[in-house]
């Protein structure tokens, strides 16, 4: 199975800050990497698929990059509504494993 | 508008069984693979099981293999998860999720609201 390791597990940043979350796969997954946002008590929401393709309606301050084993999710200017947990997921092969998540808090 | 509505959760005793359902609407259900993903209280997301659009291929996490069975009724636009031999660590919110692309698997572009299963005596 492919293990997905996210870091950090949590972070606190100010409005306007640039935030970066990393995700590392235990083996190469090409660009089969997806990012989800989950707010408390809500279902996850797909933000980015294919490592860097932004879903329709997702603000352009979100971006994704990487290939192979190392990936990043960047929020260019953190907004209050971005307070949430973020999960990476590989869709290269079964089982479709998730990273452990990163909780983003606003200072 | 795509809608996914899970049902069937509740309190079940250890060793017991329950069947979850996910009623889908707003898309051609038989075209898309579907997954179940769970989230234990205060924990992260865990992929549980996946089924192709025709139902001919199914996949399971090691943690549920042999105890959970995923199925679908394309005539009723409904996804199922039969869960037996339940344990305390199966306690979670269970989400159904729609694959974004036809084929075997892909990212999930729509999710239900989830149904809570509590395994406790």
Cβ within 8 Å, pair A98-B45: yes
Cα(B77)–Cα(B98) distance, integer angstroms: 12
Predicted confidence at residue B97, as pLDDT, reads 98
Residue A52, phi-psi category: left (phi > 0), alpha (psi -120 to 50), beta (remainder): alpha
Is B109 in contact with A97 (Cβ distance < 8 A)? no
Tell me the per-residue pLDDT of B80-117, one tens digit each, with 9 for 90 and over: 999 999 999 999 999 999 999 998 888 999 999 999 99
Residue numbers of chain A with a pLDDT score lower than 70:
none
State the pLDDT at residue B103: 83
Closest CB to B44 among A34, A50, A100:
A100
Among the partner-chain residues B44, B59, B62, the one whose CB lies closest to the CB of A87 is: B44
Q: Average pLDDT of chain B?
A: 97
Dump pLDDT digits (tens) for A26-57.
999 999 999 999 999 999 999 999 999 999 99
Q: What is the pLDDT of residue B104?
A: 84
**What integer pLDDT is reported at residue A68 of this predicted model?**
98
CB contact under 8 A, B45 and A46: no
- Using the 8-state DSSP alphabet, how is residue A80 labeled? G
Would you state the pLDDT for residue B105? 87
Determine, for residues B109 and A95 on separate chains, whether the beta-carbon distance falls below 8 Å: no
Query: What's the rounded Cα separation, in Å, for the pair B17 and B30?
Result: 27
Q: What is the CB-side half-sphere exposure of residue B88 using CA atoms within 13 A?
A: 2
Inform me whether the C-beta atom of residue B107 falls under 8 Å from chain A C-beta atoms. Answer: yes
Smallest Cβ–Cβ distance between A98 and the set B44, B100, B113 belongs to: B44
Digit-coded pLDDT (tens) for B69-79: 999 999 999 99
Secondary structure letter of residue A64 according to DSSP:
E
């Amino acid at each position: 199975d492919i293990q997905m390791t996210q870091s950090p597990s949590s972070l606190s940043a100010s409005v306007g800050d640039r935030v970066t979350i990393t995700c590392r796969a235990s083996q190469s997954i090409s660009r089969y990497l997806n990012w989800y946002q989950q707010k408390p008590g809500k279902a996850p929401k797909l933000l980015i698929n294919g490592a860097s393709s932004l879903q329709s309606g997702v603000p352009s301050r979100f971006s994704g990059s990487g290939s192979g084993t190392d990936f990043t999710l960047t929020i260019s200017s953190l907004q209050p509504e971005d307070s949430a947990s973020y999960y990476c997921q590989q869709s290269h092969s079964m089982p479709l494993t998730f990273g452990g998540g990163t909780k983003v808090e606003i200072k | 508008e795509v809608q996914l509505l899970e049902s069937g959760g509740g309190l079940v005793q250890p060793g017991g069984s329950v069947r979850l359902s996910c009623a889908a609407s707003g898309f051609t259900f038989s075209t898309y693979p579907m997954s179940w993903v769970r989230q234990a209280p205060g924990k992260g997301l865990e992929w549980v099981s996946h089924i192709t659009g025709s139902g001919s291929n199914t996949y399971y996490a090691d943690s549920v293999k042999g105890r959970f069975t995923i199925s679908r009724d394309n005539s009723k636009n409904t996804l199922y998860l039969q869960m037996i031999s339940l344990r305390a660590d199966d306690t979670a919110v269970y989400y159904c999720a729609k694959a974004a692309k036809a084929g075997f698997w892909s990212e999930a572009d729509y999710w239900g609201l989830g149904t809570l299963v509590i395994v406790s005596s």
